[in-house]
């Protein structure tokens, strides 16, 4: 499936026509294109909106329309591009009813736009995802204020629907034309579209006659599918992709020529027999359309306010009540002043209804005992903290409310709320129920082409063989730059200099970033006071019970529309489960707010990088940083979360900060004002808020201008943005007495943030979860690993590594068993002396019992059923009794047998498997079967070897509690001079070593310049590999796909961190060919 790219908006309109010559006659013929698709007519249009806008300007067009098929998905991008190009844009859509001809509907004003949006919503809501079901009656019902332009030939539609036959009659039916004329009184036109065909003159004469007969004005258009003729090749390819066919197999589905591109009025005049009136009428139609998307006004829901109380009064009351709960000993002066300032600004900007909407959402979650926490810029709000939306005390961080809301920018605030990932759907459905499907919808997400998906679809369209397609697609994995395409194609078996290779490269570069289809955002919800369906069309999502709007988050940002991100976070599910287990087994009630803070033992564990499973700091990069940074307080965690990010790394902030923290570099400040901003980060700007504050105190920016700077951080490559802010920032600092070197260095650091700069408020919200999860790991390791496994999939580590880590911390692990296990992992009290671990902890009297959720192929339904049967009838006494009581079929019994789940009944794996072989579902009377089974002795079966047992463990559960698989290879590995992970710690650095193990994970951070980090595991521990791009490429097949790997390279040590810089990689998976460690790649 194509993946969403890092950035989907194209705004460089002026570059789309660079180098193109436009030949016009000496007198330009006024013309407006009324029928134009963008590539948001998915896999039909073959040009971006900015390309169309730029080309229209170059051609001298008076206006251009956007009329995508049954959709308004692309209008915001077109709106932005047209504004930048200084071009008038007509907003419309081509509506395709089931019982009549296609019609192009154009919105003349705001009410007409609302009816068009509602019409599309009606059709989309009737149909499955991606389809639209409308009829002529629906169109006429929503006709008021809309212009109806009827293409007089339906050739394009017939080709689209694969029913075009040469010579067939394609003219629109007279009856339909009459009904549309009657329904759109004075607002109906006939679109004459000629494309240099053999019958153009006859067609035009016939269409004129038809329009004259029905007294409908005839107007020229060109049924535009792309901005210039050379895009025809790409249009043919996307047509093939849409039909899931090769180009060679298509016939009349393809247009016969490349004439459906934007043309000037002069070019069209030659097609229309020199009749300028038919061309000029297009401008008359355009002048009737005065609507702009700038007119859209968003109104927040208001039903949450009690009678006789205003919205701001209700919000103020809730905030005061929450402040008393948050600060029982009195609200600190700093927080009181923040609340007062925020409420004033909220009232001034009319955002009180928005805050009440978010408060209601969090209130619902807490009433349902769904753990949640607000984060992002909302954590800069003291009001959000008092409302319970966020969990970080604003007195603990330097909040900057203008990072969240400011007078200078006319756009809605943005609040992100994380919910337990398994219960987030309850919250979404609450919103749908409260506001209705016409007033609430999920934000769309546009799935666009990346290199791998693009090359795969292009290769299919060009009829390459399946094996060749997959080889090419594999080579395009993790390709980030177009310069890499030729070499990757060569490695995939295509000469980039051949005719086929050149063609594929051109198509690949054109198709990249093209939208393929509309999906749904991970959790963005839009709610409105009035009908949301009159703001943007709403359609059904693929998932039952969800509806989604046709705009994505970038569209909403461009128009300043409200979105609440209801996101899912696996760690919240884990923490809630852990809190429940602590309550059940220790009688202690924990919340995010009352977990004991600033515990030195927790920080000691974190500083030692003992953080497997801990939120945000379990990755290789984070674990390498922890021993160097050595966090010892909450704010250190805030820095840790933010510093291992592309922004600080690219801005050269990490090493200066570490040197200063270690006392290796002096900390100096050019002024007291700068010191006040940077003293907590030792003079190095790490957070977005610091960049904003520096712009204010050192360069004279207003808070609103500083926020514009923050937003511009994500667009440094956009023409003109760098120059604008560079000049203002550097000159502003010089004017205030700062030297040029400091100003330029600061600008470089700020610009390094790019779109990856991490806000302090966001880092603080995450740091709280870091601390809570670390505290649970430190004091309740059995609880923590049970909660982690029960919340899978999440995190970097598979259950096998989580279980191994728990054992190293003194947790007793018990296998899944039919007599003891539930679906989830549970805790069982144990007697005797506790097992020694790395330190004493509160779970020493409890063992972790693995749950049936770990058994591959065993369903939750079966697991819950087994629990119920055992609870009602007591423990199982024999295999036959178990089979009788549960009535599991043969396949399920075999699965449990292979997992050794009958061990408590003293039944070995092979014996249980033998007993499971008869097909019990064929015998309705189990008591007769039990009697027969008792008289059917089990034959003497060969005993399984220790290695066979481990193989079966991995096959059935993905982990083993027996010997590590690599231990069985140790003799062979010793002969190959491979050392263990444990031995690495004792070896001198810079020596050549050889190591081997199961591949646990592969990671390639965006900041690592193509370096891949691979983690191996053997029977003694883990080995960290560093694989440079050249080595990865040379041993790519092994590096990418091996499950057991041998690596040769140089040992390096930095402090307590040991890794091997690889020179050679060997795939030794055949040594353990039946072991599948379920490697977690590129998370």
Residue 399: what pLDDT? 55
Helix (H, G, I), strand (E, B) or coil at 835: coil
Give, as one character, the DSSP assignment of residue 839: S
Q: Check pLDDT > 70 for residue 20.
A: no
227, 51 in Cβ contact below 8 A?
Answer: yes
Query: What is the rounded CA–CA span in Å between residue 218 and residue 208?
Result: 7
Residue 824's SS3 state is coil
In the Cβ-directed half-sphere of 1018, how many Cα atoms lie within 13 Å? 23
Q: Are 1061 and 1026 within 8 A, CB to CB?
A: yes
In DSSP terms, 828 is beta-bridged to: 847
**Three-state SS at 11:** coil
- Model pLDDT for residues 431-456, shown as the tens digit of each residue: 999 988 889 899 999 999 999 999 99
Query: Where residue 7 falls among pLDDT bands split at 50, 70, 90?
Result: very low
Q: Which residue has the tokens 């999939």?
A: 793
Q: What is the model's pLDDT at position 346?
A: 87
Contacts of 569 (CB under 8 A, 6+ apart): 418, 419, 420, 421, 769
CA gap 239, 258 in Å, rounded: 14
Q: Which residue has the higher pLDDT, 642 or 184?
A: 184
Structure confidence at residue 511 (pLDDT): 93
Overall average pLDDT of the 906-916 stretch? 88
Q: Is the pLDDT of residue 755 over 50?
A: no
Contact 239, 253 (CB under 8 A): yes
- Cα–Cα distance between 296 and 555 in angstroms, integer? 12
705-725 pLDDT, tens per residue?
A: 777 776 665 544 444 454 567
What is the per-residue pLDDT for 57? Answer: 96
What are the domain boundaries of the chain? 31-295, 311-435+521-570, 450-512, 593-769, 791-936+943-957, 965-1081
pLDDT band at 1041 (very low <50, low <70, confident <90, very high): confident
- Which residues, other chains included, contact 840 with Cβ-Cβ below 8 Å and sequence gap of 6+? none
CA angle 338, 351, 406 (to 5 degrees): 55
Please state, in angstroms and rounded to a whole number, the distance separating the CA atoms of residues 122 and 714. Answer: 37
Q: Select the more confidently predicted residue: 918 or 383.
A: 383
Tokens encoding 127 = 């149909």
* pLDDT the model gives residue 407: 64
- pLDDT above 60 (res 477): yes
- The size of the chain, in residues, is 1083
State residue 393 phi and psi, 5-degree precision: -65, 120
Determine contact, residues 442/546, Cβ cutoff 8 Å: yes
Cβ-based burial of 591 (10 A; exposed 0-12, middle 13-18, buried ≥19): exposed
The pair of three-digit structure tokens given for residue 1038, joined into one six-digit string: 């092994």
Residue that wins the pLDDT comparison between 402 and 1009: 1009
pLDDT at 973 over 80: yes
Which pLDDT value is given to residue 695?
A: 84
Residues 6+ apart with CB under 8 A from 145: 107, 108, 109, 111, 112, 115
Average pLDDT over residues 28-47: 94
How is residue 889 written in tokens?
Answer: 């079929």
Contact 897, 890 (CB under 8 A): no
Does a cis peptide bond (omega within 30 degrees of 0) precede residue 793? Answer: yes
Q: Tally Cβ neighbours within 10 Å of residue 244.
A: 9
User: What pLDDT does residue 848 have?
Assistant: 95
Confidence of residue 387 (pLDDT cuts 50, 70, 90): very high
* pLDDT, position 832: 74
Q: Which of 573-582, 758-767, 995-1004 has the lowest mean pLDDT?
A: 758-767
Structure tokens at 690: 């610091």
The answer on pLDDT for 1 being more than 50 is no
Instruction: Output b/e per residue, 1070-1080; b: 16+ Cβ within 10 A.
Output: ebbeebebbbb
In angstroms, what CA-CA distances link 508 with 456, 480, 500, 505, 514?
A: 10, 13, 12, 5, 10
The per-residue pLDDT for range 665-711, each reduced to its tens digit, is 999 888 888 898 888 888 888 887 787 788 888 888 887 777 777 66
List the one residue out of 884, 888, 892 whose CA is nearest residue 925: 884
Write down the pLDDT at residue 730: 86
- Rank 199-213, 374-388, 950-964, 1004-1018 by mean pLDDT and report only the highest: 199-213
From the list 406, 305, 420, 296, the residue with the least C-alpha distance to 354 is 305
Question: Residue 896: pLDDT above 80?
Answer: yes
Q: Given a cut of 70, is residue 772 above it in pLDDT?
A: yes
Residues 69 and 96: beta-carbon distance below 8 Å = yes
d(CA 477, CA 576): 37
| Res. 6 pLDDT band, cuts 50 70 90 | very low
Does the pLDDT of residue 926 top 50, yes or no?
A: no
Cβ–Cβ < 8 Å for 1059, 1024: yes
Alpha-carbon separation of residue 953 from 553, 696, 900, 912, 947 (angstroms): 45, 61, 8, 15, 10
Rounded average pLDDT over 1034-1051: 89
Strand positions, DSSP E, 896-991: none
Q: Which residue has the tokens 């907590």?
A: 680
DSSP symbol at 759: P
Query: Rounded to an integer, what distance in angstroms lies between the CA atom of residue 936 and that of residue 877?
Result: 18
- Asked if residue 245 has pLDDT above 60, the reply is yes
CATH homologous superfamily of 965-1081: Nucleic acid-binding proteins (2.40.50.140)
In the predicted model, what is the mean pLDDT of residues 621-649?
81
Euclidean distance between CA atoms 193 and 174, whole angstroms:
18
Main-chain phi, psi angles of 58, to 5 degrees: -60, -30
Can you name the CATH fold of 791-936+943-957? Answer: DNA polymerase; domain 1 (1.10.150)
Residue given tokens 């609880």 in the structure block: 783
Write down the pLDDT at residue 723.
54
pLDDT of residue 411: 56
The first and second tokens of residue 603, run together, are: 């920080």
pLDDT value for 1030: 87
Between 153 and 835, name the one with better pLDDT: 153
Per-residue pLDDT, 13: 37
Phi and psi at 21, nearest 5°, equal: -100, 135
Q: What is the pLDDT of residue 275?
A: 82
- DSSP, res 279: H
Average pLDDT value for residue range 41-60: 95
Confirm if 247 and 217 have CB atoms less than 8 A apart.
Answer: no
pLDDT score of 645: 66
Identify each DSSP E strand in 879-986 by its residue range.
Answer: none
| CA atoms 406, 407, 411, 412: torsion sign | positive
- Structure tokens, 921: 């579902």
How buried is 825 (Cβ within 10 angstroms: 0-12 exposed, 13-18 middle, 19+ buried)?
A: buried
Query: Would you tell me how many other CB atoms lie within 10 Å of the CB of residue 496?
Result: 16
H or E, element range at 735:
helix 721-735
Q: Could you give the C-alpha distances from 999 to 394, 974, 1017, 1037, 1040, in angstroms and in order?
A: 43, 19, 7, 14, 10
- pLDDT for the residue numbered 602: 95
Q: Does residue 14 register a pLDDT over 70?
A: no
Superfamily holding 31-295: Metal-dependent hydrolases (3.20.20.140)
Q: What DSSP assignment string belongs to 1003-1047?
A: E--TTSTT-EEEEEEETTEEEEEEE-HHHHHHTHHHHHH-SEEEE
The pLDDT mean for the chain works out to: 85
Q: Who contacts 754 (Cβ-Cβ below 8 Å, separation ≥6)?
A: 646, 647, 650, 713, 714, 716
* pLDDT exceeds 50 at position 886: yes
Whether pLDDT at 278 is above 90 = yes
Q: Note the pLDDT of residue 94.
A: 97
Backbone angles phi, psi at 554, to 5 degrees: -65, -40
Q: Do residues 204 and 152 make contact, with C-beta atoms less than 8 angstroms apart?
A: no
> Measured between alpha carbons, how far is 81 from 375 in angstroms, rounded to an integer?
32
Helix (H) / strand (E) containing 414 = strand 414-420
CB atoms within 10 A of CB 677: 24
Percentage above 90 pLDDT, the chain: 45
What pairs with residue 226 in β-bridges? 261
Instruction: Tell whether the model's pLDDT for residue 138 goes beyond 80.
Output: yes
For 997, phi then psi, to 5°, come to 175, 175
DSSP letter assigned to residue 294 = G
CA distance 364 to 417: 13
Sequence-ordered strand ranges (E) for 731-855: 812-814, 826-829, 846-849
Q: Is 713 left (phi over 0), alpha (psi -120 to 50) or beta?
A: alpha
Structure tokens at 696: 């204010």
pLDDT tens track for 403-416:
556 666 555 566 78
The pLDDT value given to residue 163: 85
Average pLDDT over residues 521-525: 83
Whether residue 132 is predicted with pLDDT greater than 80 in this model: the reply is: yes
Degrees to nearest 5, angle at CA 1034 with 1082 and 987:
75
Minimum mean pLDDT among 404-413, 620-629, 694-703, 732-741: which range?
A: 404-413
């Amino acid at each position: 499936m194509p993946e969403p790219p890092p950035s989907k908006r194209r705004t460089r309109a002026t570059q789309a026509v660079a180098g193109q010559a436009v030949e016009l006659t000496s007198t330009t013929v006024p013309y407006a294109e009324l029928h134009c698709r963008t590539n948001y007519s998915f896999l039909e249009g073959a040009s971006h909106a900015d390309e169309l806008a730029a080309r229209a300007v170059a051609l001298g067009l008076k206006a251009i329309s956007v009329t995508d098929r049954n959709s308004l998905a692309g209008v915001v991008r077109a709106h932005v591009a047209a504004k930048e190009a200084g071009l008038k844009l007509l907003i419309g859509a081509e509506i395709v009813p089931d019982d009549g001809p296609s019609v192009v509907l154009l919105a003349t004003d705001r009410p007409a736009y609302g009816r068009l949006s509602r019409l599309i919503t009606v059709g989309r809501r009737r149909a499955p995802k991606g389809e639209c079901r409308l009829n002529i009656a629906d169109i006429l019902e929503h006709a008021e204020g809309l212009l109806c332009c009827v293409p007089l030939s339906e050739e394009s539609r017939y080709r689209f629907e694969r029913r075009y036959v040469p010579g067939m009659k394609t003219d629109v039916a007279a009856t339909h034309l009459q009904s549309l004329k009657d329904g759109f009184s004075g607002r109906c036109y006939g679109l004459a579209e000629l494309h240099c065909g053999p019958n153009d003159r006859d067609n035009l004469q016939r269409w004129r006659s038809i329009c004259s007969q029905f007294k409908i004005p005839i107007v020229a258009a060109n049924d535009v599918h792309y901005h210039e003729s050379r895009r025809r090749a790409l249009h043919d390819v996307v047509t093939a992709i849409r039909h899931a066919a090769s180009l060679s197999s298509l016939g009349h589905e393809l247009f016969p020529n490349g004439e459906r591109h934007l043309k000037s009025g002069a070019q069209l005049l030659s097609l229309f027999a020199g009749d300028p009136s038919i061309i000029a009428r297009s401008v008359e139609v355009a002048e009737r359309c005065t609507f702009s998307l700038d007119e859209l006004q968003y109104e927040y829901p208001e039903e949450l306010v009690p009678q006789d109380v205003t919205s701001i009064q209700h919000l103020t009351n809730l905030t005061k009540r929450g402040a008393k709960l948050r600060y029982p000993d009195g609200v600190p002066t700093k927080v009181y002043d923040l609340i007062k300032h925020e409420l004033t600004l909220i009232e001034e900007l009319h955002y009180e209804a928005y805050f009440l909407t978010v408060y209601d959402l969090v209130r619902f979650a807490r009433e349902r005992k769904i753990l949640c926490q607000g984060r992002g810029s909302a954590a800069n709000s003291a009001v959000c903290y008092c409302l319970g939306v966020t969990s970080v005390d604003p007195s603990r961080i330097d909040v900057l409310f203008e990072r969240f809301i400011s007078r200078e920018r006319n756009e809605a605030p943005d609040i992100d709320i994380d919910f337990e990932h398994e219960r987030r759907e309850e919250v979404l459905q609450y919103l749908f129920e409260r506001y209705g499907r016409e007033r609430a919808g999920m934000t769309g997400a546009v799935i666009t082409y990346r290199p791998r998906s693009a090359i795969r679809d292009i290769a299919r369209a060009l009829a390459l063989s399946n094996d060749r397609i997959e080889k090419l697609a594999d080579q395009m994995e993790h390709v980030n730059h177009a310069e890499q395409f030729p070499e990757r194609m060569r490695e995939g078996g295509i000469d980039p200099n051949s005719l086929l290779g050149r063609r594929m490269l051109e198509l690949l570069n054109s198709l990249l970033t093209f939208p393929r289809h509309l999906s749904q955002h991970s959790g963005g919800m839009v709610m409105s006071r009035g009908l949301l369906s009159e703001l943007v069309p709403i359609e059904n999502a693929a998932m039952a019970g969800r509806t989604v709007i046709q705009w994505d988050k970038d569209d909403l940002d461009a128009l300043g529309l409200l979105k609440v991100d209801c996101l899912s976070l696996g760690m919240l599910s884990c923490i809630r489960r852990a809190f429940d287990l602590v309550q059940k087994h220790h009688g202690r009630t924990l919340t995010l707010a009352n977990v004991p803070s600033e515990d030195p033992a927790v920080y000691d564990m974190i500083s030692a990088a003992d953080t497997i499973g801990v939120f945000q700091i379990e990755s290789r990069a984070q674990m390498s940083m922890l021993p160097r940074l050595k966090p010892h307080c909450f704010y250190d965690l805030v820095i840790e979360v933010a510093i291992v990010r592309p922004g600080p790394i690219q801005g050269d902030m990490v090493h200066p900060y570490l040197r200063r923290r270690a006392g290796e570099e002096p900390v100096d400040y050019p002024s007291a004002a700068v010191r006040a901003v940077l003293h907590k980060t030792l003079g190095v700007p790490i957070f977005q808020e610091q960049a904003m504050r520096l712009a204010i105190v050192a360069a004279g920016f207003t808070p609103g201008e500083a926020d514009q700077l923050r937003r511009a951080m994500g667009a440094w490559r956009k023409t003109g943005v760098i120059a604008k802010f560079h000049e203002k920032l550097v000159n502003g600092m010089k004017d205030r007495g700062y030297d040029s070197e400091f100003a330029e260095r600061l600008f470089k650091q700020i610009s390094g943030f790019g779109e990856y700069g991490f806000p302090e408020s966001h880092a603080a919200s995450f740091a709280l979860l870091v601390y809570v999860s670390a505290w649970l790991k430190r004091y309740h390791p059995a609880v923590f690993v049970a909660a982690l496994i029960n919340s899978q999939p999440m995190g970097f580590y598979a259950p096998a590594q989580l279980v191994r880590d728990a054992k190293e911390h003194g947790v007793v692990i018990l296998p899944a068993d039919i007599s003891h296990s539930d679906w989830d992992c549970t805790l069982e009290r144990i007697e005797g002396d506790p097992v020694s671990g790395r330190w004493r902890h509160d779970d020493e009297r409890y063992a972790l019992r693995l749950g049936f959720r770990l058994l591959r192929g065993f369903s939750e339904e079966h697991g819950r059923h087994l629990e119920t049967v055992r609870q009602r009838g007591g423990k199982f006494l024999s295999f036959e009794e178990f089979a009788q009581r549960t009535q599991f079929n043969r396949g399920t019994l075999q699965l449990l047998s292979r997992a050794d789940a009958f061990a408590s009944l003293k039944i070995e794996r092979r014996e249980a498997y033998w007993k499971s072989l008869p097909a019990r579902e064929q015998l309705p009377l189990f008591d007769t079967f039990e009697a027969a089974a008792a008289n059917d002795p089990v034959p003497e079966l060969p005993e399984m070897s220790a290695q066979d047992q481990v193989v079966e463990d991995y096959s059935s559960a993905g982990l083993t509690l027996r010997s590590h698989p690599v231990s069985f290879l140790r003799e062979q590995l010793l002969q190959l001079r491979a050392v263990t992970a444990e031995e690495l710690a004792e070896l001198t650095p810079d020596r050549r070593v050889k190591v081997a193990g199961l591949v646990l994970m592969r990671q390639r951070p965006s900041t690592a310049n193509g370096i891949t980090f691979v983690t191996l595991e053997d029977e003694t521990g883990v080995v960290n590999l560093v694989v440079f791009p050249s080595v990865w490429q040379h041993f790519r097949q092994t590096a990418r796909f091996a499950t057991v790997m041998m690596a040769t390279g140089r040992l390096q040590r930095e402090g307590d961190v040991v890794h091997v810089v690889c020179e050679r990689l060997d795939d030794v998976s055949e040594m353990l060919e039946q072991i599948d460690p379920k490697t977690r790649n590129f998370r």
